[in-house]
């Protein structure tokens, strides 16, 4: 006999929308959507709804937007809706009073092959670390972050020059399929799970900060290249750019390795016609797309049309 489901879907960004739509388009009863409160956005600072809220309203699904997930009023609203399964995709950490409530549990979609890359930015860090494979995982939430019993996993290769933005799109669709398959398993019941492996040194996916998104030109070429593509398109790898007696903060979005064999200190810059090459610890990198302060992201060949590069120019 199939379980009769009443689902609460919890998520905020567009990554979660694909999973929500997969459930709705396959007839699953999502009785409520929980998402972040509307936030000011744009130059006018007008309130903007999350992508998940916009999707829910399109389908006519009630939306809850609690500031505090432990709020008794919010917890009571979930209880009153008789929710028996919660599906979480790209949302906040849930308190036990919420995740432990449904009869069939609360499961999360995580964009990595757990137990590796637990944390806030798993897609970014898989690319930054130069991984050749990643994937998506569904697991039942427990008291610790990203440690619960694994339900399903699906793997995919990471292409050598793939950016986080490109991988994000693929994992979003993979994740939606895995969420749908996971709900079907729970509906059919019972669900077989497996315990996550204990790793002595698991790969981590911490929140992206100003400190861990800065480029270090004293590292090998491949490491610099991987960090650039791992932080593209958001938030962008950044570095200081010294030229014409000024030092500015710039972002680099695209690069490729180069076989130039000139010796120079790390961070040195060489202009070759409409190309910009930068020295790393063990070689050279060609910078393909960059963003100067107050400007939009542009191909370097276009930037060089209006920018004079001094011989002493360098990345710091």
The answer on whether 81 is annotated among ligand-binding residues is no
pLDDT at 199: 84
Exposed / middle / buried, residue 113 (Cβ in 10 Å: 0-12, 13-18, 19+): buried
Residue 290 CA to residue 303 CA, distance in Å, equals: 8
Q: Does 92 have pLDDT greater than 80?
A: yes
Helix then strand then coil, % of the chain, to nearest 5: 25, 30, 45
Among candidates 61, 66, 119, which has minimal Cα distance to 90? 119
- Provide the percentage of residues in the chain whose pLDDT is more than 90: 89
pLDDT digits (tens, 9 = 90+) for 12-47: 999 999 999 999 999 999 999 999 999 887 777 788
Among candidates 234, 293, 232, 287, which has minimal Cα distance to 256? 287
The answer on whether 112 is annotated among ligand-binding residues is yes
The answer on whether 113 is annotated among ligand-binding residues is yes
CATH code assigned to 7-188: 3.40.50.170
- Quote the pTM value: 0.94
The answer on whether 115 is annotated among ligand-binding residues is yes
128, 230 Cβ separation under 8 angstroms: yes
pLDDT digits (tens, 9 = 90+) for 228-255: 999 999 999 999 999 988 999 999 999 9
The correct CATH number of 221-315 out of 3.10.25.10, 3.40.640.10, 1.10.150.20, 3.30.70.60 is 3.10.25.10
Q: Tell me the domain boundaries of the chain.
A: 7-188, 221-315
């Amino acid at each position: 006999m199939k379980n009769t489901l009443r689902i609460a879907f919890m998520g905020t960004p567009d990554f979660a929308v694909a999973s929500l739509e997969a459930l709705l388009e396959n007839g699953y009863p999502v009785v409520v959507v929980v998402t972040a409160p509307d936030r000011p956005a744009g130059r006018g600072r007008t309130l903007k709804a999350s992508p998940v809220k916009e999707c829910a309203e399109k389908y006519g699904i009630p939306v809850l937007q609690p500031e505090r997930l432990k709020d008794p009023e919010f917890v009571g609203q979930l209880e009153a809706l008789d929710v028996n399964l919660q599906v979480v995709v790209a949302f906040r950490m849930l308190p036990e009073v919420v995740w432990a409530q449904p009869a069939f549990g609360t499961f999360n979609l995580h964009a990595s092959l757990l137990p590796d890359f637990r944390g806030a930015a798993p897609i970014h860090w898989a690319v930054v670390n130069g991984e050749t494979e990643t994937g998506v995982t569904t697991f039942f939430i427990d008291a610790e972050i990203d440690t619960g019993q694994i339900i399903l996993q699906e793997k995919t290769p990471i292409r050598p020059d793939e950016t986080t933005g490109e991988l994000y799109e693929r994992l979003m669709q993979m994740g939606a399929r895995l969420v749908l398959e996971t709900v079907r398993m729970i509906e059919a019941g019972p669900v077989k799970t497996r315990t996550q492996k204990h790793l002595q040194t698991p790969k981590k996916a911490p929140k992206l900060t100003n400190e861990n998104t800065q480029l270090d030109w004293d590292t090998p070429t491949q490491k610099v290249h991987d960090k650039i593509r791992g932080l593209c398109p958001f938030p962008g790898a950044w570095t200081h750019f010294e030229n014409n007696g000024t030092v500015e903060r710039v972002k680099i979005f695209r690069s490729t390795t180069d076989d130039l064999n000139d010796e120079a200190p790390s961070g040195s810059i060489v202009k070759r016609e409409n190309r910009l090459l930068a020295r790393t610890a063990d070689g050279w990198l060609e910078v393909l797309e960059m963003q100067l302060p107050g400007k939009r992201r542009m191909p370097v060949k276009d930037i060089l049309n209006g920018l004079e590069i001094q011989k002493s120019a360098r990345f710091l």
